[in-house]
Structure 1
């Protein structure tokens, strides 16, 4: 929701437009003289309402409906762009835009956790398309970089890993801006995201090396270092080194328990299950996946798909439970298709094909 810290005639006119009132109706709505509103309309940013009138404008904006707030933001944005009004000199975001941008990024985080990709994409591009980095101050650059990093998360979750419109490209761009702003923690977090991209694109040895370095990187929080340690195990397991991977993952799991991070703790058990499945320890794998299923986040389609994929993969390793495994994979594939998780859908298809090949009788 927009907020104005300092009203000028420019913001007052934008509010009148947003409320869809005439000059006279707006003056009556505020309880001021018509000539006062006319003065605001003429001088715009060159005039400021009196302190008591500033408070009246605050109240009028706060009581406006949601649609009026959106029209207010739009009117101010259009007025503040270069060439849109001769009396407006600002070229970067105004204070209210920073607040709206920050609020939108919080909404993006929630949308991504629910895999509401369309909503997240609309919110991000609302800001990334509005401003160029060269017209932003440090606060604006921070929001721009954070938006670009979240765009990378969206692209990664949708399976766009490499290329000009990919997670790798967005993460690299965000990292460059955070490095320019000299924010080491954010730079390290982007290094971690780029290592995930390397793993997803099949560069397992490269990813494992990066994870190992980041697992002891003081720029990262203790939680992020534990995640890096867990992902070392993931890369090792994908590369066939299942027993060592399980030991590394178990250390990360204990770290998440010490940190009281239940979601990460559950994900770690899911990955442990797959490592034990790869090592041929089916009973251990079933035990760990059962823990993950009982404690995992249930309102995230992404996590439901991952849990079901891991469970189905484990069940496929025994002919007695193969049909159950295929049924669970079918459900996971259906959900992945519904929410647009192309990378997970590809993993499910790969598991199916591998299972079909293993179940065919060998010809002599």
Structure 2
């Protein structure tokens, strides 16, 4: 297009999309009102007045070559190279599955979701999304816990919010739990770990209202703009529980990750944005998780979740480091994950989902072994966000990494326990807080140099169980995710009971809010 051509609402909107500016930013750049820009979207055939034609001409002339190429692409120039986001919108099968799911549950005709996401993607300003990420990072774990306590209250019958105390430090969380679900001392192997998957458990019907559908469109557009991974893999949904000391029992049904990502997973972002804006308006929460009764009624909603573990690895005494201890691993989550982004968490941490055997993989311990291989021992072939799973038995001994193979060679080398269970009010997720202990010092001497976090972590930190001051300071860090702090506190409690002289930490006690 050149200055001799006539601008229309459609071509002006195409320029806005090429510049990747929001309505407000585009209006500011042109020196006009934001409602004028909105009007171009509503009336694509509208021809702006001559003065506005000149303003748009100048904006196009000042655009960079890359922005001009995108403008040509949005006008339908076949020679223009599509952006990676647009290519993914058209070709990524997981995005395609999400669009199909959205059309179905919003009651739209096929293709409507794709068009809606494309239009929203064209108006997104990536810089604004980065700025929003920064604002979200300023909202602390304590802010989140306090906001959810204000929304729900702190107790229903014998269930209340988990609080841990370490000396004068009080750690409130958003994890709803009860006495029977804490200090489980439950080995993650049969016969203690015995969740089941009954046959034919259909999901409840779900129809998205207009607001819920628009938020799902926004999530997909942002996923494309920020190149966030999204994989439509099967996940477990919790149906019932029978959890007590030394026993994990209950039932799981099945769902798909896109169902989770486009519904209840949106509650975390809505909550954090509301806290940042000092607002109490959370319409998605009002719809999906309105009260504690709904939180506890796990069979009537999509209750997805996962397993996360504090990993403690024995190290020998060292003339430079000091006495024999346990190395504790803590991650800062990457900005490329869908939930708990940029938050502190224990590692490994992953969704509870089947690999190849829906019934056998329901055991919590299988997910934890898979996550240990994936997140710390470098097994990319079992990361279902990277590639499709084609192996008949991904955890077969012949496929294990060398560190995991060494651990599994002797039954006492790897201790895995569930230390607590709860329902996280952030998104309603179930959380199996766990502890991984490697007591044999030979492991660290052999494999300490190959223990490395995967793409889900931005950084990996190490702490010593003999460093009371630093671990206590870590517990007070406001950057924790709520489930991460829950698992950390419960893991340290259990480690103090079984770790002997390697553990020199202050006592941690828990209580359930009244």
* Between structures 1 and 2, the one with greater strand share: 2
Which of structures 1 and 2 has the larger relative contact order (alpha carbons within 8 angstroms, sep 6+)? 2
- Fold shared per TM-score above 0.5: no
* TM-score (norm: length of structure 1): 0.35
* Between structures 1 and 2, the one with greater helix share: 1
Q: Pick the structure with greater CA Rg.
A: 1
* TM-score (norm: length of structure 2): 0.27
